[in-house]
Amino acid sequence: MDKELLRIVIIATGLIIITGMLAWAFVKSKKYRESLEEDFEDETPPKSGLASRTAMDDEDFLGTLEEDGDDRMAVAPVAVSAGKTSRYHEPEVEEPAAELNPEDEDYEDYEEPEPRFPAPSIIQFSVIANQDEGFNGLDLAHAFDIAGLEYGNLKIYERLDSKRLVDFGVASMQPPGTFPEHDLENFYCPGIIFFMQPGELEDAVPVFDDFVQTAVFMAAELDGTVLDHEHKPLSEKTVELIRRSL
């Protein structure tokens, strides 16, 4: 199996696995919530002040939290004595948060918490040419050489690490997405696409930083505009959100 077909198989397999994991996590979480609802309906107030959970054992409960992927929650192990089957106390009922009144002094300072940005399986930015004719092949080759990207056997440019493994790649927006080896002066493309798979990297953060810096450099060198994964001009906020998710 050649290298190009192997990468396509790896990417397709990764997407299938990710889709399956998301579906499995959704079903698992749904069953967990239904189990808790049944427990609260059937149980009687315990005399000891501890809630009894027989529908789920401790390993299932911890496993569900770990599968949720939120490392902000941690469950400390509690010694289980005779007659006590639960690791946690009866959940306390929290008082509903008071609604802010526009006339309150703190109203103007209140900010809604930002939702957690999910880590993408594939990060894709693009650099679009500002000129109608697009990027010329000779200009592209020169800019790639300055940025330290190498022309690979897949006919795209790649960032290689010290072990000659690919950190990220750059493809052409001109179908089929490759760059020619010869006759570069007659090649034009409307833009270039940067892509990386953070899940395949040992340390994705420094690679992502290089990924962003290279895209910004190419845009400045070729007179282009960097767009994010939603095809909007790349902002520092978007970069920071993605960086925190890695």
User: 18-32, 83-97, 118-132: which has the minimum mean pLDDT?
Assistant: 83-97
Please name the residues in contact with 109: beta carbons below 8 A apart, sequence gap of 6 or more. none
**63-69 contacts: CB < 8 A, separation 24 or more?**
64/28, 64/29, 64/32, 67/25, 67/28, 67/29, 68/25, 68/29
Within 10 angstroms of residue 198's Cβ, the number of other Cβ atoms is 20
Angle among Cα 28, 32, 34 to the nearest 5 degrees reads 120
- How much is the pLDDT for 74? 37
Residue 65 has pLDDT above 80, yes or no: no
Please name the residues in contact with 246: beta carbons below 8 A apart, sequence gap of 6 or more. 119, 198, 204, 205, 208
User: Letter for the amino acid at 66?
Assistant: E
Listed by start position, the domains of the chain span: 3-67, 123-245
- How much is the pLDDT for 57? 44
User: Measured between alpha carbons, how far is 53 from 35 in angstroms, rounded to an integer?
Assistant: 10
- How much is the pLDDT for 120? 80
Task: Tell me the per-residue pLDDT of 106-150, one tens digit each, with 9 for 90 and over.
Answer: 556 656 655 666 778 999 999 999 999 999 999 999 999 999 999
Fold of 123-245: Cell Division Protein Zipa; Chain: A, (3.30.1400)
pTM summary value: 0.54
- How much is the pLDDT for 16? 73
- How much is the pLDDT for 172? 97
